[in-house]
C-alpha cells in the first residue's frame, strides 16, 4: 500500500500532537518528542525525493503523490519543500528552546497541530481552504498564548488576554477577503473578459494579506500579542505562522500571475513596506516596554520583506526569504531574554521597573539585546546580511528609499539602547545587586544562539544560497 506524502506527514504530526497532549505533564519528554518529530519532517523532506517511493516496514510512502479529499487535492509541490523545511526546522528549534520556559504547557502539542494545519494550507490549491486552515491554526495557538507562566517556586503569573482577542479578530477579518476573492476567481474563469473581477480580487488579496501580516494600519495585533502573550508562543506565531502566510502569498503570486502584473502592485508593496518600517522604527524608538519593542521590531522587519518583494527582482524575493530565515534566530534570542526579564518583573516588562535587571540576569539581558540588534539589521548578525542586501538593491533604485529603510533599523536600535540604559542602571538606594541564578540549560541555549547568529552573520552564504534556491522556485518576476 502506498500512502500519499501529505497524508503521511500531516497524519504523523497530528498523531504526535495527540501524544504530546497526553504527556504535557513531563515537559522534557514533550519538548524532546516535538523536536524529534519536527526534525524528522525536515530530514524526510530534504532526503527523500518527491517522486521516489519510501519503503517502510508496514507501508510505502510517496511524498509527491496527491491526496484526494472529496475532490480537493493536497499535493506537495517541489516549490513547497523548502518552505515546509523552514517551518518544521523553526518548530524544532523553538520546541527545544521552550523546554525550560513553559512548564507543563500545551504549547508543544498545539504547535504540532498548527504546523500540520499550516502544511495543509500550503498543499491545498484553493484559496478558501488555505484561508480557513490559517484561521484554524491561529485560533489553536491562542490557547498556549495566554497560559499562565509557572515559576520554579510553583507560583504563577499571567498577563491580559487582549493579545489573543485581537489576534482572533484580525485573522478573522482577513477571512472574508480571501474567500470572496476565491468566488471572484471562479467567476472570472466563466467570464474571462471581466477584468474588473480581477481588480476587485487583487484589492481583496491585498487587504487580507495586509491584515494577516500586520501591515499598517492593521498592525495593532502585533504589539498587543507581544505585550501580553507568552514569548515562546509569540515567537512561533511570528516565525512559523507568519512564515506560512508569506509562503502562501508567494504561492499566489506564482499561481495568479495577474496579481503581480497589476500596474500599482510594486508601488503598493514598496509604499506599504516603507510605511511599516518607518512606523515600526519610530514607535520602537520611544518604547520602554520590552514586549512592545519586539512587536515594533517585527513590524519593521515585515515591512522590509514587503519592500524587498516590491523591487520586482528575483534578488528581492531572495532577500525577503533571507529576512524570514534570520527571524527565528533573532526572535528566539529575544524570546529567551524577554522570558527571563518578565519573570524578574513577575509579568511586568517595563524597562523602568526593571532597572538593574541586566545585573541580576546578565545573560537574559544580553540575549534580548543581541536578538534585538539582529532583528534591527545591525552587525554582526544574519539580519544585517539580509538588510545589507536590501539596502544595496534599494540604492540601485534611489537613495531616499534606502535611507528610510536604514533609519527604521536605527529607530529599533534606539529603543533597544534606551531599554539597555534602564536595565543597566542601578535602582535608587541599592549598592550591590545580586546576580540571580539562571537555568544552565537556558544559558547554553543563549550562548548557542548567539554563536549561531554571529557565525551566520559572518558567513551569510551558508543560508543565502538556500534563500536564492527557494526564490528561484518562484518565477513570477522572471522575464
Partner 1 sequence: MTFVSWLERFSQLVSLPAAWGIFVTGGVIYLITAWRVRFLALIVQYLFVGILFLRVFENRPEMAMMKIIVGWMIAGSLLLSARVRTDALRGKGGLTRRWAANLPFRVVILATVTVVAQLLAQRLVLPYVTDELGLACIMLFLLALLFFGTEEKDASAVGVGVLNLLSALEIFYLAQDPGLLVSGVLMVVNLLVGLVTSYLTVTEVVQ
Residues in touch with partner 1 (CB under 8 A) = 69-70, 72, 128-129, 132-133, 135-136, 139-140, 142-143, 146, 148, 157-162, 164-166, 168-169, 172-173, 175-176, 179-180, 183, 186
SS3 of residue 475 by DSSP: coil
Smallest distance, partner 1 to C-beta of residue 6, A: 15
In terms of CB distance, is 157 or 476 closer to partner 1?
Answer: 157
Q: C-alpha cell of 400?
A: 531616499
In terms of CB distance, is 183 or 466 closer to partner 1?
Answer: 183
Q: Cα–Cα distance between 360 and 378 in angstroms, integer?
A: 26
In terms of CB distance, is 148 or 286 closer to partner 1?
Answer: 148
Any long-range contacts for 458-467 (C-beta under 8 Å, 24+ apart)? 458/380, 460/322, 460/382, 460/385, 460/386, 463/322, 463/325, 463/326, 463/382, 464/318, 464/322, 464/385, 464/389, 466/82, 466/325, 467/318, 467/319, 467/321, 467/322, 467/325
Return the sign of the alpha-carbon dihedral for residues 420, 424, 427, 428: negative
DSSP string, 182-205: HHHHHHHHH-TT-HHHHHHHHHHH
Smallest distance, partner 1 to C-beta of residue 291, A: 16
In terms of CB distance, is 167 or 256 closer to partner 1?
Answer: 167
Identify any residues that bridge with 67 across adjacent strands, giving them in sequence order.
74
The answer to whether the CB of 341 falls within 8 A of the CB of 349 is: yes
In terms of CB distance, is 143 or 388 closer to partner 1?
Answer: 143
In terms of CB distance, is 8 or 129 closer to partner 1?
Answer: 129
In terms of CB distance, is 229 or 372 closer to partner 1?
Answer: 229
The answer to whether the CB of 196 falls within 8 A of the CB of 237 is: no
Q: Cα–Cα distance between 162 and 140 in angstroms, integer?
A: 16
Smallest distance, partner 1 to C-beta of residue 157, A: 8
**Is-cis flag, bond preceding 349, omega within 30?**
no
Smallest distance, partner 1 to C-beta of residue 184, A: 10
Burial of 32 (0-12, 13-18, 19+ CB in 10 A): middle
Smallest distance, partner 1 to C-beta of residue 179, A: 5
Smallest distance, partner 1 to C-beta of residue 72, A: 7
Smallest distance, partner 1 to C-beta of residue 169, A: 5
In terms of CB distance, is 11 or 176 closer to partner 1?
Answer: 176
Q: If we measure between CA atoms, which residue out of 335, 276, 267 comes closest to residue 303?
A: 276
Q: How many CA atoms lie within 13 A of 241 on its CB side?
A: 26
Q: If we measure between CA atoms, which residue out of 261, 242, 232 comes closest to residue 31?
A: 232
Smallest distance, partner 1 to C-beta of residue 425, A: 30
In terms of CB distance, is 13 or 130 closer to partner 1?
Answer: 130
Smallest distance, partner 1 to C-beta of residue 178, A: 10
Smallest distance, partner 1 to C-beta of residue 183, A: 5
Q: Cα–Cα distance between 403 and 408 in angstroms, integer?
A: 9
Q: If we measure between CA atoms, which residue out of 243, 239, 309 comes closest to residue 273?
A: 309
In terms of CB distance, is 69 or 455 closer to partner 1?
Answer: 69
Amino acid at each position: 500500500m502506498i500512502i500519499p506524502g501529505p497524508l503521511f506527514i500531516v497524519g504523523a504530526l497530528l498523531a504526535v500532537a495527540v501524544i504530546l497532549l497526553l504527556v504535557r505533564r513531563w515537559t522534557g519528554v514533550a519538548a524532546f518528542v516535538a523536536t524529534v518529530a519536527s526534525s524528522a519532517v525536515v530530514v524526510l523532506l530534504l532526503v527523500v525525493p518527491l517522486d521516489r517511493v519510501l519503503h517502510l516496514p508496514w507501508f510505502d510512502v510517496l511524498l509527491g503523490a496527491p491526496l484526494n479529499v472529496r475532490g480537493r487535492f493536497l499535493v506537495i509541490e517541489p516549490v513547497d519543500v523548502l518552505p515546509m523545511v523552514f517551518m518544521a526546522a523553526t518548530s524544532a528549534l523553538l520546541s527545544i528552546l521552550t523546554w525550560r520556559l513553559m512548564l507543563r504547557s500545551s504549547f508543544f502539542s498545539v504547535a504540532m497541530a498548527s504546523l500540520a494545519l499550516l502544511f495543509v494550507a500550503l498543499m491545498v490549491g484553493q484559496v478558501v481552504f488555505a484561508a480557513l486552515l490559517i484561521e484554524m491554526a491561529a485560533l489553536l495557538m491562542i490557547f498556549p498564548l495566554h497560559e499562565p507562566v509557572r515559576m520554579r517556586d510553583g507560583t504563577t503569573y499571567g498577563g491580559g488576554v487582549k493579545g489573543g482577542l485581537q489576534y482572533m479578530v484580525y485573522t478573522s477579518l482577513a477571512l472574508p477577503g480571501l474567500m470572496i476573492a476565491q468566488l471572484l476567481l471562479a467567476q472570472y474563469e466563466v467570464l474571462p473578459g471581466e477584468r474588473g473581477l480581477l481588480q476587485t480580487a487583487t484589492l481583496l488579496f491585498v487587504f487580507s494579506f495586509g491584515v494577516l501580516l500586520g501591515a499598517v494600519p492593521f498592525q495593532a495585533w502585533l504589539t498587543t500579542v507581544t505585550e501580553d502573550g507568552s514569548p515562546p508562543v509569540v515567537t512561533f506565531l511570528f516565525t512559523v505562522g507568519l512564515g506560512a502566510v508569506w509562503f502562501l502569498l508567494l504561492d499566489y503570486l506564482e499561481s495568479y500571475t495577474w496579481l503581480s502584473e497589476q500596474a500599482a502592485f510594486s508601488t503598493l508593496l514598496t509604499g506599504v513596506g516603507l510605511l511599516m518600517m518607518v512606523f515600526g522604527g519610530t514607535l520602537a524608538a520611544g518604547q520602554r516596554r520590552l514586549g512592545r519593542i519586539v512587536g515594533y521590531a517585527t513590524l519593521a522587519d515585515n515591512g522590509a520583506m514587503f519592500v524587498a518583494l516590491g523591487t520586482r527582482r528575483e534578488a528581492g524575493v531572495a532577500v525577503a526569504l533571507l529576512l524570514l530565515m534570520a527571524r527565528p534566530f533573532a526572535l528566539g534570542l529575544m524570546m529567551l531574554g524577554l522570558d527571563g526579564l518578565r519573570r524578574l518583573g513577575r509579568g511586568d516588562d517595563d524597562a523602568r521597573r526593571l532597572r538593574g535587571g541586566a545585573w541580576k540576569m546578565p545573560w537574559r539581558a544580553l540575549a534580548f539585546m543581541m536578538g534585538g540588534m539582529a532583528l534591527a539589521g545591525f552587525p554582526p548578525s544574519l539580519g544585517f546580511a539580509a538588510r545589507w542586501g536590501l539596502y544595496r538593491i534599494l540604492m540601485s533604485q534611489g537613495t531616499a528609499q534606502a535611507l528610510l529603510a536604514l533609519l527604521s533599523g536605527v529607530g529599533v536600535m534606539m529603543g533597544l539602547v534606551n531599554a539597555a540604559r534602564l536595565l543597566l542602571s542601578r535602582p535608587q538606594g541599592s549598592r550591590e545587586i545580586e546576580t540571580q541564578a539562571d537555568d544552565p540549560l537556558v544559558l547554553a541555549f543563549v550562548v548557542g544562539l548567539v554563536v549561531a547568529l554571529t557565525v551566520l552573520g559572518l558567513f551569510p552564504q551558508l543560508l543565502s544560497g538556500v534563500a536564492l534556491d527557494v526564490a528561484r522556485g518562484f518565477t513570477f518576476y522572471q522575464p
